[in-house]
Amino acid sequence: MRLLASLLLIATVLPAVADERDSGRVIAYREQNGVGTIRPDDGGKDLFFASGRDPKLRSLRIGSCVTYRIHNDEHGRPPRAVDVAIC
């Protein structure tokens, strides 16, 4: 029963942290490769992102408003934007 209570507590706390998204503007985008750079609205360092060929991002252009999550690499590489979505 304690395990179930612990899991329920974790399930209620994690979504609030996991869904935390930042916003910014696309400052560079190579449509053929599906990669680009985002300038965060909060003034932080520019972030690399790879959209792949996600059909939801077909209308992405330089200057587009996007939301994203920051992924900190465990191998010491610079942070990058993941789960990019158009505002």
pLDDT, position 54? 84
Residue type, 70: I
Structure tokens at 84: 């990019």
Q: Sketch out the chain's domains with CATH numbers.
A: 21-86 (2.40.50.140)
pTM of the model: 0.74
Identity of the amino acid at 29: Y
Task: Give backbone dihedrals phi and psi of 19, rounded to 5 degrees, phi first.
Answer: -90, 5
pLDDT score at 9? 45
pLDDT, residue 12, reads: 46
Give pLDDT tens digits for 3-57: 545 444 444 444 434 468 999 999 999 988 889 999 999 999 999 999 887 888 8
Taking every pair of Cα atoms in the chain, the longest distance, rounded to a whole number of angstroms, is 53
Of residues 12 and 69, more confidence is placed in 69
